[in-house]
Copies of this chain bind each other. A is one copy, B any other.
């Protein structure tokens, strides 16, 4: 569907780009948790790198991690693999849609109810 003000990109493309950074963030979480269990040294490497680099731009983060040292490069390659596999196999796309529809419905009802309650002095006096 055409939405005004998106120029060349569609809303779906814009949302997919945001999800891409989110999947990188999730992949970092997964890899960090795995390393913590069985590779304390690599865990320290990654945590230290995370303290110095933002994850807001997932690709920029991975590019910097690849160039930090050969050890860090191995970690970056693992993050690339995990984000690809997570996006394709583990993320529950149907659930995302279901939750989104629920959130919009519940939010709309809540906003209207709050307004109605707020502007009903009768309701207040009944308390």
Contacts and interface: CB of A to CB of B under 8 A. Distances in A.
Contact of A107 (B11, B32, B59, B104): B59
A14 to B, nearest CB: 8
Each complex incorporates copies of this chain amounting to 2
A56 B20 CA distance: 19
Interface string A39-62: 000000000000000000011001
B3 A30 contact: yes
Chain A's interface: helix, strand, loop or mixed, by majority? helix
Contact of A104 (B63, B87, B110): B87
Interface of A: 1, 3-6, 10-20, 22-23, 26, 29-30, 32-33, 58-59, 62-63, 66-67, 73, 76, 80, 83-84, 86-88, 90-93, 95-97, 99-105, 107-108, 110-112, 114-115
